[in-house]
Amino acid sequence: MKWHRINALLIRHLYLFKRSVPRLMDIFFWPVMELLLWGFISVYISKLNIAGFNAVTVLLGAVIFWDLMSQSQRAVSIAFLEDVWERNFLNIFVTPLRLSEFLASTVILAFVRILMVGAVMSILAALFYQFNFLMFGLYLVPFMLNLLIFGSAIGLFTTALILRYGTSAQVLAFGLLFLVQPFSAVFYPVSALPSAVQWISYLIPSTYVFEGMRAVIATGMLPTSLLLGAIIANIIYFVGLSWYFYRSFAVVKNKGKLLKLD
Amino acid sequence: MAILEIQNLVKEFGPVKAVNGLSFDVQEGTITGLLGPNGAGKTTTIQMILDLITPTSGVIKIFGLPMQKHREETLGKINFSSPYVALPGNLRVWENLYTFARLYGVKDIAKKIDDLADFFNIRSLLSRMTSSLSTGQLTRLNLTKALLNDPRLLLLDEPTASLDPDIADKTRHMLKRIQKERGVSILYTSHNMQEVEEICDEVIFIDQGKLKDRGVPAELVKKYGHKDLNDIFLEIARANEQEEL
């Protein structure tokens, strides 16, 4: 992999972001609105004084984590869609750029996005709701990295589907993650799900992350088994979905449809 | 010396053979016209040369190297331009050129863009949004992008299509200059036979994915006993119609 080519694609996105209000809104405005909405709900639930349940900590933690994963997925999918919308694939892929470099740039972009969104949401959560992520030390960081990887893997899958089935599949770039949300135990523990579907939850890496986040908040300790579960599930997903993406790219090249993604 | 060699190239899309055992070469420092009616297989061939479509079989050698095994090396020394493929309209001209220069690993990017901006007379456009450029300006920008990496082989897909006669004439002169001053070999597709006669050292006629004929334009005109390449084009294109009837 050559860094100058990855860097070129990152710079291109920087150019796009610095003058695009909708793109900046996608990073800052919507996450902040979501934080405020859930923040008020959390404050209201707290006033109900439900024993043993710290609504602000659990719900705001979940909202921030969910948004980080969502940002990661969208960063990968939309970076790809930018080139579809601008019909720029030919220009990009007649350069020596490798597919792995293209993917690396989207994952780095996802990482930068979750850093920015994470920082903004954490600061606002601390200011408005006295919810301080740092009080859990660095225990939440490995879980956040797992969200980045899972979000990117789902982004790759979405991208592969758009490659194969055309831009009519682009709605998945904005909605696919919501298919896994009910099973990921984002706002409630897995035990709250009907026992018949709990096994589905444990097939999804994000379930271990959200369960892990709640365990860190409740005990102040690092739940190593949940972290290990997230890592193993993520490796399986990332390798599997990357293979599917490469395979889809090869199929599209073979069918001569790379430049016909309309 | 052949800078591009195509050997027995085949591309099948299901039951359709878009390219059917095509073989030809492009000599270093020449402008070669790749001609044929719509659906002849020109675009598919060019996209296979650029590794955008995977051939069913056959060999593509660029600078003597098999393209698919040496993709990175060969793509670094060739480039492509087409009026049908615009650079992203949501970037400024300078931003587009800078991005592509980095993708090609150009060393002194500012100087390279400066030199080419003078060559193509686009200096005043550098700070403009790409979406605001006229067709003629976009053609010059595409050619600027295509020379960023000092290519040894340039693939041009109908570079003067949709240009007015004045801009088209200027573009042809630019291409001649590029070939002479930079020694670039050019593979050129066009439906404008007058233009092809004016600019190409050699032409290759293909139809239904097969090589029909090749040679120096003046010699082909003599060989077929026609008054120009346009009539040869019509003869080749209509021969198949008669076969089908």
Identify the H or E element spanning B188.
strand B185-189
Question: How close are the terminal C-alpha atoms of chain A, in Å?
Answer: 29
- Report yes or no: A8 at the B interface, CB cutoff 8 Å: yes
Identify the H or E element spanning B204.
strand B202-207
Q: CB under 8 Å to A69, separation ≥6 — which residues?
A: A147, A148, A150, A151, A177, A206, A209
How many distinct structural domains can be found in chain A? 1
CB-nearest partner of A87 from B18, B86, B99: B86
CB-nearest partner of A256 from B13, B82, B98: B13
Q: Is residue A260 a part of any domain in this protein? A: no
B124-B130-B135-B136 Cα dihedral, nearest 10 degrees:
30
In A, minimum Cα distance to B107 occurs at A4
pLDDT tens string B57-116: 999 999 999 998 999 999 999 999 988 888 999 999 999 999 999 999 999 999 999 999
Cα A18 from chain centre:
22
Q: In the beta sheet, which residues pair with residue B174?
A: none
Residue for token pair 């879980």: A143
Global pTM value? 0.88
In B, minimum Cα distance to A7 occurs at B102
Beta carbons of B99 and A11 less than 8 Å apart: yes
Q: Domain range spanning residue A170?
A: 3-255
DSSP B86: P
Beta carbons of A15 and B91 less than 8 Å apart: yes
Residue A54 has pLDDT above 80, yes or no: no
B58-B41-B50-B182 Cα dihedral, nearest 10 degrees:
110
The band of B241, judged by pLDDT with boundaries at 50, 70 and 90, is low
Q: Is residue A261 a part of any domain in this protein? A: no
* Chains A & B: contacts with CB separation below 8 Å: 91
ipTM of this complex: 0.89
Q: Is residue A37 a part of any domain in this protein? A: yes
Residue in A11, A16, A91 to test binding to B, most B beta-carbons within 10 Å: A91
CB atoms within 10 A of CB B68: 13
Domains identified in chain B and CATH numbers: 2-77+153-244 (3.40.50.300), 88-150 (no CATH)
Which has the minimum average pLDDT: A22-31, A150-159, B180-189? A22-31
pLDDT tens string A63-74: 999 999 998 998
Beta carbons of B145 and A5 less than 8 Å apart: no
pLDDT tens string A67-97: 999 989 988 988 888 888 888 888 999 999 9
Q: Is residue A170 a part of any domain in this protein? A: yes
Res A262: pLDDT: 58
Chain B residues within an 8 Å CB radius of A16: 90-91
Q: Is residue A80 a part of any domain in this protein? A: yes
Residue A56 has pLDDT above 90, yes or no: no
Residue A241 has pLDDT above 70, yes or no: yes
Percent with pLDDT over 70 in chain A: 98
Residue in A88, A105, A249, A255 to test binding to B, most B beta-carbons within 10 Å: A88
Q: Is residue A262 a part of any domain in this protein? A: no
Beta carbons of A258 and B54 less than 8 Å apart: no
In A, minimum Cα distance to B100 occurs at A8
Distance CA(B45)–CA(B51), nearest Å, equals 10
Q: Is residue A19 a part of any domain in this protein? A: yes
The structure tokens listed for A188 are 């409630």
Beta carbons of B91 and A12 less than 8 Å apart: yes
